[in-house]
Structure 1
């Protein structure tokens, strides 16, 4: 990540959160949902460029036994510059400092070969990731 970018330890506002997810090609979230959910973030980071939020990632969970890395997004115009790596480094550093022994850390990935460098591995066949979306 070059010096033109700034990493801050906070999540974006709900409107920016929703817009960045959409720009990154992720499933949409409602602004109402983001307003309710974002304050419950355990730890989050954003990347800014020229005053605009162009990247985000956060950790959600119970703060003791289960943590999930969620909402990792980088605007397409800023991909390939190490922003995702910088954000993951911050999230993993937080977990290494704060999560108790034997905590379960999970994520759902749509990028092959990215998260493994931080020790993440597929759960199958031991378990399967599943989801259900509300309407």
Structure 2
């Protein structure tokens, strides 16, 4: 039984349905397959984790390759969580991205402690521009403080 991580040009094909399932079951948003594929393929850093040939982990990042990288969609299928695979994936990612400066990520609220183990720190000045339903959803999921009634009902 083995866990392997492949990245970037080593990725020759992706089971997009399985990838979408992993993201959704891990607490990230449900994704439309064409948008998921587009985002994944246009990210400079792409990671897939396999356990005995079964896709069970993913992550991706974009970077200016000099001062900052944005890490996102870090997910381990729930059946494989708690076994150290997330740690191995993060170590692989940090090996690649740390030389490129700071790494920014959004964490699912219940995973903040996981990222703290890798020396990630909450930002006091991070901000997001989001309109309409996305703004309401981010507040409901705990990514933003509660919104005043007029802001959360914005129909843009």
- TM-score normalised per structure 1: 0.79
Secondary structure of 2:56's counterpart equals strand
* 2:123 matches 1:123: yes
Determine if contact 1:42/1:63 at 8 Å carries over to the other structure: no
Task: Give 1 or 2: higher helix fraction.
Answer: 2
Determine if contact 1:59/1:67 at 8 Å carries over to the other structure: yes
Determine if contact 1:48/1:54 at 8 Å carries over to the other structure: yes
1:7 is aligned, of 5, 8, 11, to: 5
The CA deviation at 1:4 is 2.4
Secondary structure of 1:26's counterpart equals coil
In the alignment, structure 1 segments of 5+ residues that lack a partner are none
The CA deviation at 1:27 is 0.8
- How many residues are aligned here? 127
Determine if contact 1:23/1:75 at 8 Å carries over to the other structure: yes
2:150 equivalent in structure 1: none
- TM-score normalised per structure 2: 0.70
Q: Taking CA–CA contacts closer than 8 Å with sequence separation of 6 or more, which of the two structures ends up with the larger relative contact order? A: 1
1:79 equivalent in structure 2: 81
The CA deviation at 1:68 is 0.8
The correspondence of residues 16-95 of structure 1 with structure 2, limited to 5 A, is 16-95=18-97
The CA deviation at 1:76 is 0.7
Secondary structure of 1:113's counterpart equals helix
66-75 or 6-15, which deviates more: 6-15
